[in-house]
Amino acid sequence: MAPTATTGPAPTATEPAVARPPRPSGDRALSIGTMVVMAADFLVLGALVAAYFAVKSGSEVWPPKGVAVGTYIPTVVTITAVLSAFSAQWAAFAARRNDQRNVAIGFALTIFLGLAMVNAEWLALSQAGFGVRSHAYGTLYFLLIGYHIVHALVALPLMGIVGGRALAGHFPAARADGVRATAIFWFATTGIWYVVVTALFLMSPHA
């Protein structure tokens, strides 16, 4: 398999790296743009997490009395998130090889796993036994998990569209960056879940 996604010729002995002007080619603009936007997106999440820990540090009992959310569903969602990252990368690798059928298969698998995650999270919210209005913990519990669900609900149709278009032959190796950007969006979505699960469950005592 020949590498197709190089950004320029490597410097040789006759052409020292310092003398060669940089060559921004623009062919990775979409994936770099996605990374920049997702970095900003993580800072929005950062504000929510900061609020969570600020409220937590000001409370004597944490989580508040009567809260019993359990760790079963979050554990299942976390394992699914890890698996879905592999299937999304499957699609990205396939795009580089110009294998558009496997792009569609990778994204179809990711959509399946993503739907399972959203379903489990929805179940966790509906069985929480408290609401947004109950207390600050409740507000942030719904906001943090909701923030992940919203991202998944954007990513799932996006992967559907890109996967479908790949089947129609719209993503040859030269345009693999679109597939890579979609995969990056999904990685960031799973990343949001890891942050949420760390704040809400790993760093807070739960029965």
Partner 1 sequence: MTALSDHKTIGKLFLVASVTFAVVGGALGLLMRAQVPDAGSYRQLFTLHGVVMIFLFLLPAWLGLASAVVPLQVGARRVAFPRTHALSFWLFVAGAAMVISSPLVSDVVSGWTLDSPLPVGDTSGGRGQGPELLILGLILVAVAAVATAANLIVTMLQLRAPELSLRRIPLFSWSVLVSSAVMLMALPVLIGALMMLFVDRHYGGQIFSSAANKGGDPLLWPRLFWFGAYPLLWALVIPALGAMCEIIPVFARRTLASHSRAVAAIGAIGVLALAGWGSEIPELAPPLFALGALAVLAPVAAVLLNILGTLRGTQVAGMGSKPVRLGSVPPLAVLTGITVAAAGLMGALVSAIDAGGSTHFSTWSVATQHLLFFGVSVVGVLAATHFWAPKLWGRHLAEGAGKFSLLALVGGLHLAFLPMFLLGLGGAAAGEAGSGSSPLEAISTAGAFALAFGLLLFAANFLTSAVAGWGREAEADPWGGFTLEWATSSPPPPHNFDELPALASATPLLDVASQLEASQLELESVH
Residues at the interface with partner 1 (CB under 8 A): 21-26, 28-30, 32-33, 36-37, 39-48, 50-51, 54-55, 58-59, 64, 132-140, 143
Nearer to partner 1, 90 or 187 (CB): 187
CB of 62 to partner 1, least distance (A): 9
Query: What letter represents residue 27's amino acid?
Result: D
Nearer to partner 1, 32 or 120 (CB): 32
CB of 52 to partner 1, least distance (A): 9
CB of 202 to partner 1, least distance (A): 20
CB of 201 to partner 1, least distance (A): 18
Q: Which residues contact 48 (CB under 8 A, 6 or more apart)?
A: 140, 143, 144, 147
- Chain centroid, CA 57 distance in Å: 28
Taking the C-alpha atoms of residue 100 and residue 82, their distance in angstroms, rounded to an integer, is 23
Taking the C-alpha atoms of residue 7 and residue 95, their distance in angstroms, rounded to an integer, is 16
Taking the C-alpha atoms of residue 76 and residue 170, their distance in angstroms, rounded to an integer, is 35
Nearer to partner 1, 132 or 153 (CB): 132
The C-alpha angle with vertex 27 and arms to 25 and 28, in degrees rounded to 5, equals 110
Nearer to partner 1, 11 or 24 (CB): 24
